[in-house]
Amino acid sequence: MTSIPPSLSFDSRTEWLRGEGRASDVVMSSRIRLARNLAGCPFPHRGTRVHRQASLQLCKKAILAGNLSPRLIWVDLHDASPLERMLLVERHLISKHHSKSRPSAGPPAAGPDDPRGVAISLPDERVSIMVNEEDHLRIQVIRTGLALSECWKEIDEVDNRLEAALPYAYCPRFGYLTSCPTNVGTGLRMSVMLHLPGLRLTGDIERVKRAAGDMNLAVRGFYGEGSEAAGDFYQLSNQTTLGKSERQVLEELEAQIIPKVVEYERVARRTIATKRLAAVEDQVYRALGILTQARLISAEEAMQLLSHLRLGVVLGIIKQIDQSLVNHLMLLVQPAHLQRVLGREMDQDQRRIARGDLLRTKLAR
């Protein structure tokens, strides 16, 4: 069985949790992923188990031989426990879909032990490559702050090295071919995780979401597609993969759209800090009060309170806690992390108690 190193649950060297980088008061992290497939091999959801075993072997070999990162570990997800898989989902290293394993439109042969895996760069967890998710390859680079250019530089390099070793399914007319037509072309998705408590407090968040939609951007929650905006975190990502080059998308997002949203959020924060400081301070300190005293707490509530706390840290209301700790706690309160950190399986009630204990310990002055 694949062993996931303990560092993966609470290592402070995880790059995207650092709370640093450009515009890190608003942009928690930047992420780019590329969808790629092997030519001459049925795409995961169309192939048989044997096909997927073959694509897994091929990709795994190329990834591990590709010198893509100073240290890269490989996890065979079909051998990993549900808890280990959930841990990787919580860390944004694999998708929920990939953790559940069965390709959505897969033939009956596909099952929970369907051949698939992920490569992860350590200790920064900046690069991860899922194999046999919706596409044969899903390459991801994730970094702290607004850093799409840096992500692009890194992922482009990884992609080039893999392309040199693997026969990518590419069509001169459409570009890279993918399982889902929405990804055909560049196979590119660029996204940023934004913390927008100010815009929620001023009530402008819906306007910003509509504007993003008008610009053909998707707005999602902390855990991507289908997840709610937990704790005022919003993932903003491009939808277009045809007709626009990677450079164009990058420039549009990084130089134009994101800075504008960041500015909106900063203005909102300044507004509330001048006009409604008492209300914001109250929200921040109440969050601190509950986080440091509650004996039972759900992951959802903890996320929401940590979001308030994060705003307090960013606004300088709370000085004894840093943003990186708050970011890490957002992961540590998730079910799989909690169980991994405490080294035992727990049901929901036990987790609510353990989560309270953990938060009190970590936030104790």
75 binds a copy of itself (CB under 8 A): no
Residue 311 Cβ vs a copy of itself, minimum distance, rounded to whole Å: 14
Q: Which stretch binds a copy of itself (CB under 8 A): 20-28, 164-172, 255-263, 288-296?
A: 288-296
Two tokens, residue 41 = 């091999």
**Amino acid letter for position 274:** T
Q: Which stretch binds a copy of itself (CB under 8 A): 94-102, 191-199, 210-218, 273-281?
A: 273-281
What's the sign of the alpha-carbon dihedral 30, 64, 62, 41? Answer: negative
Closest CA to 190 of 212, 218, 213: 218
288 binds a copy of itself (CB under 8 A): yes
Q: Which residue has the tokens 């591990």?
A: 64
Query: What is the per-residue binding string for a copy of itself in 293-332, x denoting contact by CB under 8 A?
Result: xxxxx-----------------------------------
- Grouping H, G, I as helix, E, B as strand and the rest as coil, residue 22 is coil
Out of 82, 289, 322, 344, the only residue in the binding site for a copy of itself (CB under 8 A) is: 289
Residue 292 Cβ vs a copy of itself, minimum distance, rounded to whole Å: 6
Number of residues that make up the chain: 365
356 binds a copy of itself (CB under 8 A): yes
- Grouping H, G, I as helix, E, B as strand and the rest as coil, residue 32 is strand
Measure the CA–CA gap between 238 and 224, rounded to whole angstroms: 13
Measure the CA–CA gap between 142 and 62, rounded to whole angstroms: 21
Q: Which stretch binds a copy of itself (CB under 8 A): 22-30, 72-80, 199-207, 277-285?
A: 277-285
153 within 8 A of 10, measured Cβ to Cβ: no
CB atoms inside a 10 Å sphere around CB 269? 22
286 binds a copy of itself (CB under 8 A): yes
* 74 vs 285, beta carbon nearer a copy of itself: 285
* 151 vs 291, beta carbon nearer a copy of itself: 291
Binding-site ranges for a copy of itself (CB under 8 A) = 278-279, 281-282, 285-286, 288-297, 353, 356
